[in-house]
Amino acid sequence: MDWGMRNRIARMFPARSGNTVMLAVDHGYFMGPTRHLENAAATIGPLIPHCDALALTRGVLRTSVPAGAPIPIVLRVSGGVTILQEDLSHETLTTPMHEAVRLNACAVALSVFVGSPHEHETLASLGKLVSEGEEAGIPVMAITAVGKELEKRDARYLALACRVSAELGAHLVKTYYCDGFAKVVEACPVPLVVAGGPKLDSEEAALQLAHSAIAEGAHGVDMGRNIWQSPHPVPMLKALRAIVHDRATVLEALGIFHGEKEAIAARTAAPA
Ligand code: 5RP
């Protein structure tokens, strides 16, 4: 691996732990104005200092992230279908590698839909993107998407989808946490990060998910809705960082969450 590629990976996975807290804000590319992401700039701005990388599209990057923000960018480069369609797998490459270079991306990301009607096209896109990424020194993150079929998130399916992605050359894989996740990790020779999925009932449940994933070998999270759909996104990110970087327990992370929440409330209530 050349220095540029290693440097980009090191920037996303800081040496403090070798893990990452990636903030996913790329939902609009097929879901439109997702709840709490309607005004992307307002949501993202306060969270930038508390995450290790931002995962988003070129549209939101150009319109909603200050060019001076010192944050590695994971650029989503696939799309082409919306939630109005039954089959979400009909994706293609929507942003070329030379634009990722122009945008100074640290990595590019695309969804692969293993076992879906457009499996072949999305896997072929992954292969093409990896070849271009190797040329440019930009790592590729494959996202093992499940479309609307959330029940597909079992260890057997995810191990297959992650392994295929790594075999086709993905440098990183984003997947879901599942029962038996350690088996998914064991069968995947490149670092895995986990998505959060739809908003869970509580912050504790999301922290538990992250804790289990790290304990079973994930190299971090690429989480969205369970952070910015929480009424307390900054405390949530700080609690997640403790789990991902410092191997905090869920109880310790919850303590950080509540402490940060109270500190923010006290600052807001304090007279000027
Ligand atoms: C959207 C994605 C999201 O980035 C991914 O699902 C992570 O976000 P969340 O934690 O909200 O699931 O790939 O297609």
Ligand 1 centroid distance, CA of 197 (Å): 6
Ligand 1 centroid distance, CA of 157 (Å): 18
**Top mutation candidate among 23, 25, 27 for ligand 1, by most atoms within 8 Å of CB:** 27
Segments forming the whole domain that contains residue 92: 3-269
How confident is the model over 189-212, as pLDDT tens digits? 999 999 999 999 999 999 999 999
Give the count of domains, the chain: 1
Nearest to 79 by CA among 108, 52, 51: 108
Q: Residue 28: CB within 6 Å of ligand 1?
A: no
User: Which amino acid residue places its CA nearest to atom 14 of ligand 1?
Assistant: 27
Ligand 1 centroid distance, CA of 109 (Å): 11
Per-residue pLDDT, 119? 95
Residues of the chain predicted below pLDDT 70: 272
Q: Residue 26: CB within 6 Å of ligand 1?
A: yes
Q: Which atom of ligand 1 is nearest to the CA of 111?
A: 13
Per-residue pLDDT, 1? 84
Nearest to 100 by CA among 46, 48, 141, 147: 141
Q: Residue 197: CB within 6 Å of ligand 1?
A: yes
CATH number reported for the structural domain that contains residue 51 in this entry: 3.20.20.70
Beta bridge partners of 76: 109
Long-range pairs for 182-188 at CB < 8 Å and ≥24 separation?
182/216, 182/217, 183/155, 183/159, 184/155, 184/158, 184/159, 185/216, 185/217, 185/218, 186/217, 187/159, 187/162, 187/163, 188/159, 188/162, 188/163
How confident is the model over 56-95, as pLDDT tens digits? 999 999 999 999 999 999 999 999 999 999 999 999 999 9
Per-residue pLDDT, 79? 98
| Residues with active-site annotation | 174
